[in-house]
Chains A and B, each alone.
Chain A
């Protein structure tokens, strides 16, 4: 079953341990949505995925990776 993994937790840590709330405010969503994405419970839209990547200043595929198991 295909699934999308993400490195948001790691990127938050590398960016100075910014909180889920800070990241949520920066990309314009709720903290619960960031939590759901980090836990792999929710797959964000392309728009939000790009906004998250841009916030960390990295390409999209450094945040999200697709696995077709």
Chain B
């Protein structure tokens, strides 16, 4: 498994963990009525910033655990070299994710124009970012698996 493929897999795992944490935290706060007050958006933004910081730590932990598990299970010394094929796959995956994000944002703006609340729009944007990140990593993995 190349460095790029391992990166894609660890990024996918990290994103899934972060999404679960986001959903649990935000739904919990929503149920507790934390976003209901006049400072609801401020509380929401603080929670999101906290989780963004936490996600960096999670990414580091997942990468280390995966690196150790991979070395132990395969007995290989992982090759950390990235080359033109990795960059090509990154670029192609990023292009797909960018289209998804762009059309998604357009959808959110249309939703806003039809009367949706700013709170709903922000949550949709956040979900879009997460989904496009997942999509990007899934496309990267698919391209690596296909041998592209």
Contacts and interface: CB of A to CB of B under 8 A. Distances in A.
A28 B83 contact: yes
Contact of B83 (A33, A39, A41): A33
Nearest to B3: A30
Chain B interface residue number, banded? 10 to 19
Contacts of B83: 28-30, 33
Nearest to A44: B84
A39 B148 CA distance: 10
Contacts of A45: 84
B147 A42 contact: yes
A27 B59 CA distance: 32
Interface of B: 2-3, 5, 79, 81-86, 88, 144, 146-148
A9 interface: no
Contacts of A28: 83
Contacts of B147: 35-36, 39, 41-42
A35 B144 CA distance: 12
A30 B7 CA distance: 15
A31 interface: yes
B55 to A, nearest CB: 28
Given A39-B147, A41-B147, A42-B148, A33 B85 contact: yes
Interface residues of A, number: 15
A65 interface: no
A29 B5 CA distance: 14
A19 interface: no
A36 B3 contact: no
Contacts of A44: 84
B79 A41 contact: no
A42 B85 contact: yes
A32 B144 CA distance: 9
B79 A36 contact: no
Contacts of A48: 84
A2 to B, nearest CB: 17
